[in-house]
Amino acid sequence: MQPAFVKLVVVGDTNVGKTSLVNRYVEDTFSDSLGNTVGVDFFACKMQLFGQTHTVQLWDTAGQERFKSVVKCYFKSASGVLLIFDLTARESFKHIETWLLDIDENINPSTAKVLVGNKADLTENRAVSYEEAREFAESRKMMYFETSAKSALGVDVLFESIVKNIVEEMNVAGQDQSRDNSNTQIRLGRASSGAPSKSSGGCCNF
Ligand SMILES: Nc1nc2c(ncn2[C@@H]2O[C@H](COP(=O)(O)OP(=O)(O)OP(=O)(O)O)[C@@H](O)[C@H]2O)c(=O)[nH]1
Ligand SMILES: [Mg+2]
């Protein structure tokens, strides 16, 4: 197992809690009064898995319609895509279909995708059942997770599961390549600096 470089893109309608999930995972914080994301924000962190330190980049995209063309630029080089909806807003679940169309047009078919129902703490306002969301996810060959950025429920498990999955896939692909050409040195990824950090990204500037 080699250190890997994993790029995750977080998408979904506005206000479903994408930024809140990323903040909860990277900084273990939550705010009730976050502004809407403009374009795309970029975070980086390290993850220990299989005895190695892997670099994980998180691209937190804007859900507002006016940023859609900008956001699409970021799908191409993703190792994985997290599709987030709000468990209390049925429309945001319905729109996952449209997000999938946009994503599938722009990514490699082998890119990992996971479906995430967020705001699981708001149990009384739930508008999408666990079973319905899980069945939909299964029909599209995605894993399904429920999270609450507010209470932190399921957040670490979500990010660690998708990275673990991707790193394992990279390792298998690396081994296959190694068998095909034993003289080639396999590089699964590159290390990058630093503990949790944040900066803004420009369109297609990655
Ligand atoms: N109760 C509850 N509220 C949440 C949760 N996650 C996010 N919120 C709230 O939902 C609102 C929207 O959250 P954001 O994280 O800004 O949503 P977003 O998906 O990043 O929105 P855009 O940046 O516009 O795409 C904020 O008021 C958050 O405090 C959650 O798990 N539970
Ligand atoms: Mg946001």
HSE of 6, CA atoms in CB hemisphere, 13 A: 32
**In angstroms, rounded to a whole number, what is the distance separating the alpha carbons of residues 87 and 124?**
10
* Ligand 1 atom at shortest distance from the alpha carbon of 118: 31
Q: Which ligand lies nearest to the CA atom of residue 32 in the structure? A: 1
Q: Using one digit for the tens of pLDDT, what is the confidence trace for 122-180?
A: 999 999 999 999 999 999 999 999 999 999 999 999 999 999 999 999 887 766 554 44
Q: Using one digit for the tens of pLDDT, what is the confidence trace for 13-44?
A: 999 999 999 999 999 999 999 999 999 999 99
Q: Which ligand lies nearest to the CA atom of residue 87 in the structure? A: 1
Residue 64 CB contacts under 8 Å (≥ 6 apart), including other chains: 14, 36
Distance 34 CA to ligand 2 centre (A): 8
Residue listed under structure tokens 């306002």: 125
Residue 56 CB contacts under 8 Å (≥ 6 apart), including other chains: 6, 8, 44, 45, 46, 47, 159, 163
Q: Which ligand lies nearest to the CA atom of residue 68 in the structure? A: 1
* Ligand 1 atom at shortest distance from the alpha carbon of 12: 19
**In angstroms, rounded to a whole number, what is the distance separating the alpha carbons of residues 12 and 19?**
11
Residue ranges per structural domain of the chain: 5-168
Amino acid occupying residue 113:
K
| pLDDT for position 63 | 97
Question: What CATH number matches the domain at 5-168, 3.40.1160.10, 3.40.640.10, 3.40.50.300, 1.10.10.10?
Answer: 3.40.50.300
Residue 122 CB contacts under 8 Å (≥ 6 apart), including other chains: 87, 88
* Ligand 1 atom at shortest distance from the alpha carbon of 37: 23
Residue listed under structure tokens 């599709």: 83
**Residue 25 vs residues 56, 154, 173: alpha-carbon distances, Å:** 12, 10, 28
Q: Please, is 77 exposed, middle or buried when counting C-beta atoms within 10 Å of its C-beta (0-12, 13-18, 19+)? A: middle
Question: Closest residue (by CA) to atom 11 of ligand 1?
Answer: 15
Residues in the ligand 1 pocket, defined by CB under 6 Å: 14-20, 31-32, 34, 36-37, 62-64, 118-119, 121-122, 148-150
What is the chain's mean pLDDT, rounded?
Answer: 86
3-state SS string over 29-75? CCCCCCCCCCCEEEEEEEEEECCEEEEEEEEEECCCHHHHHHHHCCC
Residue 192 above 60 pLDDT? Answer: no
